[in-house]
Amino acid sequence: MVRAARKPVAVHMTLDAPTAADLMTDNPVSIRAEASVMEATALLTDRGFSAAPVIDEAGRPIGVVSRADILVHDREFHRAPVLAEGREVPEGFGVEECDRTTVGDIMTPGIFAVSPETPTPRVIEQMLSLHVHQLFVVDEDGLLIGVISALDVLRHLKV
């Protein structure tokens, strides 16, 4: 007996968020450019984030630090350890490297941002065309007020 293949049923979904303000997560966790790479690693790991906005002293976003940025830095930092004055390390001892690198040194400079009034279709269009997983939402003064992730968009889809 041959069974006929079933046609997939079309499911129509709607997005119940007309603007970026409706999609965004308020008060996103951010990190200062002066913070250490160790602080950024702890923040991203403890919170389960893949990236975080980097802000200046005024609270304006100036870049993004991601797990990938940290991994690249870590690989480069540990590639060539330098011993003080070329001396050998005695048996049973090790050299602890002190990494003074800041988030500002390794971040991806610049951000992709929208205003709270940006229509949702434009937000999605920008995320797709820019190939980014998140957009930042800034107010008229350029201050960071929210973040929109791909997961935020999915959360607002209704069947």
- 82-106 pLDDT, tens digit each: 555 666 767 777 666 678 899 999 9
For residue 75, the Cα-to-chain-centroid distance in whole angstroms is 20
pLDDT at residue 99, rounded to an integer: 80
pLDDT at residue 9, rounded to an integer: 80
Q: Is residue 2 part of a domain?
A: no
Q: Is residue 118 part of a domain?
A: yes
Task: Assign residue 56 the CATH number of its domain.
Answer: 3.10.580.10
pLDDT at residue 100, rounded to an integer: 86
pLDDT at residue 5, rounded to an integer: 76
**pTM score of the predicted model:** 0.76
Domain that holds residue 21: 14-78+100-158
pLDDT at residue 127, rounded to an integer: 96
| Residue 108, amino acid | T
Q: Is residue 92 part of a domain?
A: no
Q: Is residue 87 part of a domain?
A: no
User: In the chain, which residues have pLDDT < 70?
Assistant: 1, 78-87, 89, 94-97
Q: Is residue 86 part of a domain?
A: no
pLDDT at residue 13, rounded to an integer: 85
Six token digits for residue 98: 């002190």
Q: Domain count of the chain?
A: 1
Give the relative orientation of helices 67-77 and 37-47 as an angle to the nearest 10 degrees.
Answer: 140
CA–CA distances in Å: residue 115 to residues 7, 30, 109? 42, 18, 19
- What is the maximum alpha-carbon separation in the chain? 82
pLDDT at residue 79, rounded to an integer: 57
Give 96's Cβ-side CA count (13 Å radius). Answer: 1
Instruction: Report the C-alpha gap between 24 and 134 in whole angstroms.
Output: 10
pLDDT at residue 89, rounded to an integer: 66
